[in-house]
Structures are given as structure tokens and as C-alpha cells.
Structure 1
Amino acid sequence: MTRRSELLDAAYTYVLEHGLAGMSLRPLARATGTSPRVLLYLFGSKDELVREILARGRRDQLTLLDSLRGAPFDEVVERLWEHISADERRGTVRLFFEAYVASLSADPGPWQDFAHQSVRDWLRLLREAQPAAAPDVAEARATRTLALLRGLLLDLLACDEPQRLRRGLDHVQ
């Protein structure tokens, strides 16, 4: 593994714990065992490092989505929820929403298109999980389910009440 890859992994781990908002290179460098100068040399700029961190998270998300391809709709929703709501993924969910909201700003910078791409990826999986449904019905169901999952995840971050949210998911499906 190259030094750049090692530092990207370490930076990703750091961001999962501390978040991206207000991220400063100095504490990040200290936590990853390097210097701000090395980070800038290897990644070109702080924005490029952020892009790489988001790309890393996106690869993890796409791996999850790809692992669910071909499963029936209810199983896809169940497995998505079990995976993304697990305690050990709170940092990943926080990073996702940080990037999602930042990408919607007037000047999204390194977060450009993050939300749009994510919506498209998740909708594609949820539509494909309904092969017998008419396209407009599959699209509507996928849209509703995606909105529900995202809303439940936000509540999970805010309240940490997984049992309540699980019941909410169960009563909608």
C-alpha cells in the first residue's frame, strides 16, 4: 500500500470520528502521523483530500449497494437498514449527511454532486429490486422508501433510538 493510500485510509477514519465540518489539516496530520505539508504534497489541496475522502466513502456505499443487487425489494430494504443503522456505522452516516447537505450549497466545492449521485444510486437499486412493478410504480415506491430510510437515519443520529425507528420501518413496509 502506498503512503498516499495509507494516509487516505487514516484520514477517512479520522473524519468518521471527528466529521468534515471545520476539518483542519494540522489536527488531521497529527492524528494520522504526518504533517500538513505531506498531506498537501500527496493530495494537492485540502479540497482534493476532501474529494478523496468522499470518494472513499462513496466506494464503500457502492459496494454495499452492489452486494444487494438481485435481491427482492423487502430484503433490500431490510439489509440496507440493518447495515446502515448499525452502531459501528454512525460515523459513516454522519459523514454521509454532512457531505449530502454540503453538496446542496450554492458553492458546493469538493462536495459537488454528492447528493445527486447518491440519490440516483440508491433509487436505481430500489427500482431494480421491483422487476415486476410498472416503472412509475417502482419509481414512486423507491422514492418513498429512500426518503423514509434517510429520515429514519437522521432521527437515529439525533435520538439514538434504534428500536423505535425499527418499528417505524416495519410498520411502513
Structure 2
Amino acid sequence: MPTTKEAPSARQQELLERAYSYSLTHGLADLSLRPLASAIGSSPRVLLFLFGSKDGLIRALLARGRADQLELLRQTEQRYDAPPGLTVIARELWTWLAAPERRPLMTFWVEAYGRSLVAPEGPWADFARSTVDDWLELLAASEPGQTAARRTAVLAILRGALIDLLATGDLERTTAAVEDYLAGMH
């Protein structure tokens, strides 16, 4: 018998958004409910009631972060009447990923991705794999004739450059690396 999940209450949604903003600046690795609750105007008990557990809250935060990524993918797909090509989409993605205002989101993503690899049984389960699948799907739609290996290479260069950018702040060098790779893709 199918079950229906109750929609989140306005209060749960409000606290999720506040917790998400908090986690973008404070990360998730050492998330403690007491400081989080205090910072977002709640209590640990309310958070546990609304999200079931700390793991439930982390899962909700990861889903919220992934929703931002999926929205980018949807917007990118909708801009074109026909597949624009892998290099066009890769350049758009890099511009979006590298934007200074997205650094907190991208740091959040890297942290969640890494945690998904080292703690695959916890609330992080399948986060890394799901994001790979999402991005490869977009890259496949951008140029259906490209091989899976080429799409994987583009994804790897974007993610590698992103991690380097987050570590160094060197936008010029990382952008040049992405551009150099994409220029050689003929």
C-alpha cells in the first residue's frame, strides 16, 4: 500500500532554510544541534521533533543543497531549444560553479560529497553518486553524440578545478585550466 509523506510545515521549512544558511557558513562536519538551534532561533528539541533526528536534519540539508544544483541543471537545459554542445554547457557550468557568491554552496557540496564517500551508511548515503548521475545526465543531454568517457572527463575537470579554486581562491588559473581543456576537445 503506497504511503504519502506529509508536506513539511511552514515552521519546518523556515527552520530548514535557516539551518541551510547556517550550514553554508559553518559546514556540516561538526554540526552540533545546540549551537545550530541557538543560531537559527530554535531549540534542539524542536529540531529533533521536526526532523526526527540529527541524521534526519542532515539528510534534509543535503536534499536542500542538492535542490540548488538541480535547479541550475533545469535552468541550463531550458535555455536551449536544441542541444548546445558539451563545451558550451561546460563553460556555463564553470561560470556558475566558480561565481564568488556560490563559494559557500560549493564548499558545502564538497564537504557533503567527501562525507558521502567515507560515511556511506549514514545520512550522507548516496549523495556523491546521485550528484555524479545528475551532472552526467545534463552533460549527456547537451551533446547526445559524445561518449560517456568524454562526459566523465568534462565532469572531472570541472570538479577538480572547483576543488582547486576552493582551496586556493585562484579563479584566473583554474578558469584558464578549464578553458585549456575545453579548447582541446575537438
Q: Distance in 2 between matches of 1:33 and 1:106?
A: 29
Match of 2:130 among 100, 111, 117: 117
Q: Distance in 2 between matches of 1:71 and 1:56?
A: 28
**Cross-structure match for 1:146:** 155
Match of 1:169 among 144, 155, 178: 178
State the SS of the aligned residue for 2:181: coil
The answer as to whether partners of 1:102 and 1:108 remain within 8 angstroms in 2 is no
State the SS of the aligned residue for 2:42: coil
Work out whether 1:44 is the aligned partner of 2:57: no
TM-score by length of 2: 0.87
Q: Distance in 2 between matches of 1:107 and 1:151?
A: 21
1:67 is displaced (CA, Å) by 1.4
What is the aligned-residue identity percentage?
A: 49
Q: Distance in 2 between matches of 1:39 and 1:51?
A: 13
TM-score by length of 1: 0.93
Match of 2:40 among 10, 26, 32: 32
1:13 is displaced (CA, Å) by 0.3
Aligned pairs for 1:83-122 (under 5 A) are: 83-122=96-135
Number of residue pairs aligned between Structure 1 and Structure 2: 169
Q: Distance in 2 between matches of 1:74 and 1:109?
A: 36
**Cross-structure match for 1:160:** 169
**Which stretch shifts more, 72-81 or 51-60?**
72-81
Query: Which residue type is aligned with residue 45 of structure 2?
Result: R
**Cross-structure match for 2:23:** 15
**Which stretch shifts more, 161-170 or 66-75?**
66-75
Q: Distance in 1 between matches of 2:91 and 2:75?
A: 13
Q: Unpaired segments of 5 or more residues in structure 1?
A: none
**Cross-structure match for 1:82:** 95
Q: Distance in 1 between matches of 2:110 and 2:117?
A: 11
Deviation sequence 1:108-152 (CA, Å, 0-9, x none): 300000011111111111111112x2xxx4211110000001100
The answer as to whether partners of 1:130 and 1:138 remain within 8 angstroms in 2 is no
1:106 is displaced (CA, Å) by 5.0
Query: Quick one: structure 1 residues 108 and 71, their matched pair in 2 at CA, closer, same or farther if it must change by over 3 Å?
Result: farther
| RMSD (CA atoms) | 1.3
Runs of 4+ in 1 over 6 A off after TM superposition: none
Q: Distance in 1 between matches of 2:52 and 2:119?
A: 24
Q: Distance in 1 between matches of 2:87 and 2:131?
A: 20
